[in-house]
Structure 1
Amino acid sequence: MKKIRIGMFTWESLYSIRVGGISPHVSELSDALAAEGHEVHLFTRGRENNDEIINEVHYHRIACDQNGGIIEQMNRMCEGMYCRFLDVRKNVGKFDVLHGHDWHPVNVLCRIKAQFGLPFVLTFHSTEWGRNGNRHGDWWEAKEISHREWLGGYESSDVITTSTVLKKEIQHIYKIPDYKLWEIPNGINVGKIKRQINPGNVKKHYGIHPCLPVVLFTGRMSYQKGPDLLLEAAAKVLKKRDAQFVLIGEGDMRSQCENQAQKLGIGNSCNFLGYAPDDTVIDWFNACDLVCVPSRNEPFGIVVLEAWDAKKPVVASDAVALVENFKTGIVAHKEPSSIAWGLNYVLEGLGHNRMGEKGNDLLKKRYNWKTIAEKTLEVYEKVIEKQESGQEKLVEKQESGKCCASKLENIEQAF
């Protein structure tokens, strides 16, 4: 495939403002595309307006006012991205394809498409329904976000989903046809998480006895991710054995979960670390004894790949499609008693199971970025070919129109 110029649009990345799982996906995919010899320009939010090249990827950061609701913020972000795109296009030349991530940049993608006829690909990482279900009722922001998800699916040339579960979800909600849909998984740079550390020292630093098993949760403290389900399960586990639970992440349920732990009488066994820097998260992936992913809805589950990279067993709800039961982890129902059973099963077999190692074996085969980038380039190639074919047909139609007009003129002259 010839070298192509890609415009990547996202509200977060590893080297700008970071929020959740989109940031490593976008940055590491961009790195892999650039490593294949393509020109990647990544438009994202930043603390200030600036440009920087990182791992051969051109980062264009747009400073955005983060006051007001999320819709207002994304409107301002899209306006800023549009202006920056015009500047970059003027300096480097035309782009071949655009690639947006989730609903946040949909407005700017549609605006560029309308002005330049430039096609875009949209990757769904989740949906508003999946994140919040029906809990928002008539909340207008939820409806507007859902509308932009629909609009992105409608206006995009092709849509990428990260799992079969998510593919079925957006087909059901937004009626996106099969011919537009691609399933390409998330990935990880193998060795990103694994470290040679002393687990006992990490535990001692947080006042945990070095011999106590630790269950790790890392992610947004939100209804979708199910931290409240884990706490109910933890109370059941602690009736049977001593253990500690480390929960890393911020979100609208953090204070609720802290109160829940106290009411359940397990406050001394739960460590809420809030937002933590990468080094702290990596330390805990390597120091913990297992990772729990109790999600109510999970479009992919990057945490599972990170756990496998550290060769740790995983206990996940059945919303997580990545885990093969009793082989690469334990699959539980989205219910505290079932999650507790899974946790106890792994804790009883510590040192004797190889589920984490078997998960690690899958990373190199299925979830490496080179393979994922090659599949993504197939999508781009299809979109670009379709665009070029459409332009050729338009030219043919115009030429045909000129020919017909010429014949009509000759006939009129004959009379």
Structure 2
Amino acid sequence: MMMMRPMFDEGVKEAQSIDELLAQIDKTDLLKEVNSEDSYAVNVKIDEVLSLIDRTDIVADVEPEEAYAVTSEDEAELERAYAIPRAQKSYKIAMFSWESMHSIAVGEVAPHLTNISSALEKKGHEVHMYVRTGKDQSAYENIEGVHVHRVSFELCENFVQEVENMCNVMVTEFFNTERFMGSQFDIVHCHDWLAAPVLLNLKKFHDRYCVFTVHSTEFGRCGNNFYGGQSEAIRGIEAEAINIANRVIAVSGVLCDELKEHNQFDWRNLRCVPSGIDVLPYDGELWDPAYIRGFYKVGPLDPMVLYNGKMVGEKGPDILIDAVPMLLASRPDAKFVMVGDGYMKDELIGRCESMGVSGSVVFPGALTGRQLIELYKTTDVVCMPSRSEPFGMVALEAWASSKPVVATNCGAPREFITHDNDGFVVDANPEGIAWGVGTIFANFDHARWMGSQGQLKASSDFSWVKIAEKTNEVYDEMTGFVPKKIGRVSAVASKAKKAEKKKKKQRKVQENAAVAFLSKMVGA
């Protein structure tokens, strides 16, 4: 050991950092005069010293501000802040809806309302959600920062009147909340016609800033038909809310066009903000895909098609059923799982029996949660044979599960599906569906690649972070607030930069301390 110390000591003195020190250690001339046993001892000693670099006792004599370390909690906080940038101006927002995941969930509005409320809260807004009361639910609950107000109201045989009753109670609770807070809400945001009476009240009689998000229209829900009676009354409520709202948000370009065609209002107030999805619940591997498939009478290697939606005319399940014989002609082992309920279900089951394809088609009813996700994860393709589709949440769910989509050109999915990249857009007839699904069956490797492309799109273009940002822009524009152009992550980026600078400073202190420690050791 004594023969190598002068050379080793010289190398240490020249080293100004850990990287330079390691470079000196790796030079063979430092160890060439050391026998194998001593060389092993030196390497062990070096490993011991390096293991001490991040220990606090090495920098015990350093001033506290110089030894500042960014904790894991700080890093986690910065990561969260980067994920959802804070708004430059915070608002008190009142959300109104017939449904939510924290009360009674019915359709696509429930996850939209719940997730957009949560994302806006994370941006720094105070968000209050007004919804119906579900069974055994409390009137108020704070869920992850979102204030959930649940209301009870008088039921009625006339559904439109029942909705009016609900909205009247919501307005009362709205003002009760303001009195409790001692301040007014900045934004009133109502979702679909079921919450439109709230908007009509608060805009006409109290002149509040009001946003009306249209997820679908009565015209579209009726299969692109104008019916009288209750349907006509609902269209009237929709039209008035669209006309007087400060801003109208439609979830797709197709829906924007529909609103322009059938309503009289100022088009300059119309904005397009899609729905979003959280891909995390759909990520990961299944414990036993074959078992899940077997539960629905699908073999491990059978080509599988999943339909998820209401069994109603505008969703087109009959179009897919009529395409089944064509697909079975080329792939007799194909299976079709038709998830959902509706007035057409019995008719579709009968049609399968009459065509002799009942053994290839399964009707498990409506599914939600983990059961539905498992089906998405095990299928080969998701089919959307819609005659009318104002948005197409099923496509995002398929992509989140890394599955390609075959959808018709009769709705919003044609706007965001990239043909032959993350799915196929086909004509709304059995021949079109058979071509799209058949193309998937012909090349499963390409189908898996398309599914991965879809997942990338869902996690970026349709993340709730992005949807919340677009919604925030609508609020700012409506209220006249002009955000400062200081970068996308603004103050958060500045905070992160300062933290990174302190981390580098800490590392430099540790490096100097380690070099001094090694110098002292070899000179002993």
1:234-273 matches, cutoff 5 A: 234-241=324-331, 242-273=333-364
Instruction: Describe the superposition over 1:392-412 as per-residue Cα deviations: whole angstroms up to 9, x where unpaired.
Output: xxxxxxxxxxxxxxxxxxxxx
| Distance change >3 Å, CA 34–CA 154, structure 1 → 2 | same
Match of 1:161 in 2: 250
**Match of residue 104, structure 1, among 171, 177, 194:** 194
**1:343 aligned to 2:430?**
no
**1:38 aligned to 2:125?**
yes
Match of 1:375 in 2: 470
**Match of residue 298, structure 2, among 201, 208, 217:** 208
Match of 1:299 in 2: 390
- TM-score norm. by structure 2 comes to 0.71
The residue type paired with residue 17 of structure 1 is I
Match of 2:109 in 1: 22
**1:129 aligned to 2:219?**
yes
Match of 2:455 in 1: 360
**1:331 aligned to 2:331?**
no
Give, in angstroms, the shift of residue 69 of structure 1: 4.6
Give, in angstroms, the shift of residue 274 of structure 1: 1.5
Tell me if structure 2 keeps the 8 A contact 1:315–1:331.
yes
The residue type paired with residue 4 of structure 1 is Y
Cα distance in 2 between the residues matched to 1:25 and 1:279: 18
The residue type paired with residue 331 of structure 1 is V
**1:283 aligned to 2:370?**
no
Cα distance in 1 between the residues matched to 2:383 and 2:155: 32
1:189-208 matches, cutoff 5 A: 189-197=278-286, 198-208=288-298
Structure 1 residue runs of 4+, over 6 Å off?
A: none
| Distance change >3 Å, CA 207–CA 67, structure 1 → 2 | farther
Give, in angstroms, the shift of residue 225 of structure 1: 1.1
| Distance change >3 Å, CA 65–CA 209, structure 1 → 2 | farther
Deviates more, 1:327-336 or 1:258-267: 258-267
Instruction: Describe the superposition over 1:54-99 as per-residue Cα deviations: whole angstroms up to 9, x where unpaired.
Output: 1211111123455535323312221221222122222123100111
Segments of structure 2 that go 5 or more residues without pairing to the other structure are 1-87, 482-524
Instruction: Describe the superposition over 1:357-415 as per-residue Cα deviations: whole angstroms up to 9, x where unpaired.
Output: 111121233111111111111111222239xxxxxxxxxxxxxxxxxxxxxxxxxxxxx
| Distance change >3 Å, CA 159–CA 134, structure 1 → 2 | closer
1:111-150 matches, cutoff 5 A: 111-135=201-225, 137-138=227-228, 140-150=229-239
Tell me if structure 1 keeps the 8 A contact 2:311–2:342.
yes
1:397-408 matches, cutoff 5 A: none
Deviates more, 1:254-263 or 1:164-173: 254-263
Tell me if structure 2 keeps the 8 A contact 1:122–1:158.
yes
**1:385 aligned to 2:480?**
yes
Identity %: 34
| Distance change >3 Å, CA 136–CA 273, structure 1 → 2 | farther
- RMSD (Å), alpha carbons: 1.7
Cα distance in 1 between the residues matched to 2:241 and 2:377: 39
| Distance change >3 Å, CA 272–CA 73, structure 1 → 2 | farther
Tell me if structure 1 keeps the 8 A contact 2:277–2:459.
no
Instruction: Describe the superposition over 1:91-110 as per-residue Cα deviations: whole angstroms up to 9, x where unpaired.
Output: 12310011111111111211
Segments of structure 1 that go 5 or more residues without pairing to the other structure are 387-415
Tell me if structure 2 keeps the 8 A contact 1:49–1:63.
no
1:36-75 matches, cutoff 5 A: 36-47=123-134, 50-64=139-153, 68-75=157-164
Cα distance in 2 between the residues matched to 1:40 and 1:260: 48
The residue type paired with residue 221 of structure 1 is M
| Distance change >3 Å, CA 325–CA 80, structure 1 → 2 | same
Cα distance in 2 between the residues matched to 1:175 and 1:345: 43
Residue-pair matches, total = 385
| Distance change >3 Å, CA 73–CA 271, structure 1 → 2 | farther
| Distance change >3 Å, CA 74–CA 365, structure 1 → 2 | same
- TM-score norm. by structure 1 comes to 0.88
Match of 2:312 in 1: 222
Cα distance in 2 between the residues matched to 1:40 and 1:348: 49
SS in 1 for 2:445: coil
Cα distance in 1 between the residues matched to 2:179 and 2:226: 43
Larger Rg: 2
Cα distance in 1 between the residues matched to 2:170 and 2:343: 28
